[in-house]
Amino acid sequence: MSTKEIIAAINDRKYPQARQMIEKQIQAQPKNSGFVSMLCFVEFKQHNREAAIEAAKSAIALGISNVPILNSFICPVLSAYGEKALMNQAFEAATRREPATRQTAELWSEYGFDLSYTKAILRAQTALNKVASSKEAVLSCCLFMALERKAMNPADPEFKLYPMLACRLLDKARPITAPQHAYVEALVLEMTSKEKMAEYLLSPAVRAYDSLDLDVMLLNNLLELENWSEIFAYAQMQLSQLDSFNYWQALVKASVKLGKTEEFKQFAQGFKGHNVCIANIDFAIEQNMDPLPAVQTFWEKMGTKASAPQFIEPYLTQSVIDFLSTVSARSFTETVNIVKINYKWTKQADVAALVKLYNANLDQLPAEKTDYFIGDDLLLVAAVHILGGTDSDRFYKAALLLETAQANDPHQFYVRLWLVRIYRYLGAFEKAKDHFDALRIRHLQHESLGFLLTTRAGSLSPNRAITRHAIDIHSKANLTGTYAQSALGKGSFTQIPGMLDLAEKLRLSLSRILVEFEALKTERVLKGTVSLSDVFNRASEYIDNRDFKTSFDPCGVASHYCETGPRQGTEWVEAQIAKEKVYLGVLRGNTTQTPVSSLSSELTDQEKWNIEVVNSLGRGDFQWLAPPVNGDELSWEIFHTGYTLCETCKVVEDVFAKQKTNAPPQLKQAKKELLEVISTIQKAVQQQKYAKNVAKWASSLGIKQADRVLGSIQQSQLRSLSQLINALN
């Protein structure tokens, strides 16, 4: 058989046949790195991660000098698994005997950017610089030496070598005439001496660039050096151009260190904004003085601004609270600010009083529809407070308050963010999706906010459209690495670290794999075709880009309210991958599977149950346990139980079908029993047992249209239940 035949089998996705042919070739030519590389690729395609990596290591040890082999069989595997160091080793091995060609160096660089691996990019840029030197290529090498050194162990021999090498290289890039180039020179100088870096950044030639990057770099450099007299002068000079708090912070420190308190006070008098007010508070604290007078001045000037509670947060003390209790509010915004601060401090709220205050100020709704109504914050405080309580109707009451705020101020996104959470908790999934859609969450926002709708979506409200957007954004993840490469070519050096950072965050996205599992569960429940390959090809480390902090949460304790199960993380993902491996192994006839641990606190009871059933399939001694059903009230849990049961039954049926035996009768029985529970819950929803109480409560607070809101929640819940019943039947 020829290499051509093997490649044809790989191209035709006949991997077992390809493997047989490759293994024969390896037996005949054990030192042929090409066949070992092909084996690596075939193992990868068959989801054998460890075997694929082992084959890659062997191929690298043998030395792969053929770049097409490297590019076709090794790089895609190591890239998919995120094996950065191994990838770099592969290229180093490939260029050991002969210097890299331009093609090899470019490929090396490309994969380096794909994996945000500065070491590989540096090696590739060095190789490229040797092949075709240019000013940009030289500066690129210098930039990556500096970036790479920041992550290095000082004991590494290159730690001492890079400063010298970079300085020498930089001479080839002179004259430095642009701020982007000066940024690289500053980084190079930083490697040799922070004093030299400061001297350079303070030089008239660099100051003339008027570059924000260089300004910020200089300030941080001076702070590291604790060069207080220079900071004192530099911060004042910068502040005379732009009011930026980082300079105030530095000036406060420098003034106190140098004992220039009078000079500071005199300088500060020339400023009016919020920054100087805060700087005065910090100045008092740095001098161990009572900050209250400065806080009072801050409040006098800024108390009517919506941001005042945010600014004052780090300085809250009982004496500040006492002071605020004496303030006679000059505007509705100031009243709301004081309410928010008090709530933050006491964690106590009088819901009736908040609603009354809201209703009394509805005449202040902004005329401009795109402006925000500060009164919304009152209902948000009330709703969050109710959600933190134990009242059994709390979700309905909070929803009523927030729907009231939303009706008056449709674009208030903090209100909608809470409504999405509450409605998902209550099983009113259509309503949750309506509010989510109204938030116009698009593009990259799906990465950080998509979890609001996609968390456990496959086992709460399986819907292909919900997971689609989130997956689409991830198809663009590699784009970021490509842009970073283009930025390097364009000499936009200051943007490179940020682009590499984003590329890494997207490549190792936890959101991404969570959504992929939801898509998989959705397909399984909706009886579509399930592909597991993507899940297995992901890297094993994850970065959590979910944004839990963009939420109205004055006390910082509400982010866990209304969650549909424990927050998922790496353990959850690992458990699901292990479970899928067991399932796939059983389908392939392998009955000696390692059981999946179901101990993680990131798993719900239903997910633990699902894993136990799959484990029994893996062991070859199928055991059917009754699925956990918690409570008889409607919440997300009944849906989670129902759809997890559907998914589990599908897995069991698949395995029994593969073994050409009938599915066990317990599956139907379990569905039947759950349908009975659901029927009871459905009747309770139809009767709206909670409605009378909640409507009475709303009426006592002067909240109108409670019946309409509660009715729409009920309708949405009933539709969700119908879908679940259909899935179980």
Partner 1 sequence: MTSLLPFNAGDLLDCNAINLDVLTENYDISFYLEYMYYWPDLLFKSVSRTRNVGYMIGKSEGAGLEWHSHITAVTVDMEYRRLGLGRVLVDLLKLASEAPDQNCYFMDLYVRTSNRIAVDMYKLFGFAPFRRVVGYYGQGRDQDAFDMRMPLKRDPHRKSLIKGPHTYESSQNRYKYDKKSLS
Instruction: Summarize as ranges the residues that interact with partner 1 (CB under 8 A).
Output: 178-180, 208-213, 216, 241-246, 248-249, 273-275, 278-279, 305-307, 310-311, 368, 370, 372, 411, 413, 417, 439-445, 447-449, 473, 476, 479-480, 483-484, 486-487, 490, 492-495, 497-499, 501-502, 505, 545, 547, 550
CB of 493 to partner 1, least distance (A): 8
For partner 1, the closer CB: 415 or 710: 415
Q: Report the C-alpha gap between 556 and 563 in whole angstroms.
A: 15
Residue 432: how many CB atoms within 10 A of its CB? 25
For partner 1, the closer CB: 101 or 486: 486
DSSP codes, 41-65 = HHHHHTT-HHHHHHHHHHHHHH---
For partner 1, the closer CB: 309 or 458: 309
Nearest to residue 202, comparing CAs of 222, 180, 175? 222
162's CB contacts (< 8 A; 6+ apart) are: 145, 146, 148, 149, 191
CB of 246 to partner 1, least distance (A): 4
CB of 285 to partner 1, least distance (A): 13
For partner 1, the closer CB: 173 or 441: 441
How far are the Cα atoms of 9, 27, 156, 543 from residue 602, in angstroms, in the given order?
Answer: 42, 46, 39, 16
For partner 1, the closer CB: 23 or 210: 210
Phi then psi dihedrals of residue 553, to 5 deg? -150, 75
For partner 1, the closer CB: 244 or 408: 244
Nearest to residue 129, comparing CAs of 145, 150, 117? 145
CB of 234 to partner 1, least distance (A): 15
Token pair belonging to 463: 């819907």
Put residue 440 in one of left, alpha, beta given phi > 0 → left and psi -120 to 50 → alpha. Answer: left
CB of 82 to partner 1, least distance (A): 19
CB of 99 to partner 1, least distance (A): 29
Token pair belonging to 157: 């021999």
CB of 507 to partner 1, least distance (A): 13
For partner 1, the closer CB: 472 or 632: 472
CA atoms within 13 A on the CB side of 684: 12
Give the three-class secondary structure for 117. Answer: coil
For partner 1, the closer CB: 490 or 672: 490
Nearest to residue 651, comparing CAs of 697, 600, 593? 593
Distance, C-alpha 491 to centroid of its chain: 29
Cβ neighbourhood burial of 668 (10 Å; 0-12, 13-18, 19+): exposed
For partner 1, the closer CB: 216 or 629: 216
- CA quadruple 58, 50, 502, 121: dihedral, nearest 10: 0
CB of 364 to partner 1, least distance (A): 15
CB of 450 to partner 1, least distance (A): 11
Q: Report the C-alpha gap between 197 and 203 in whole angstroms.
A: 10
For partner 1, the closer CB: 409 or 637: 409
CB of 545 to partner 1, least distance (A): 5
Nearest to residue 622, comparing CAs of 579, 668, 655, 588? 655
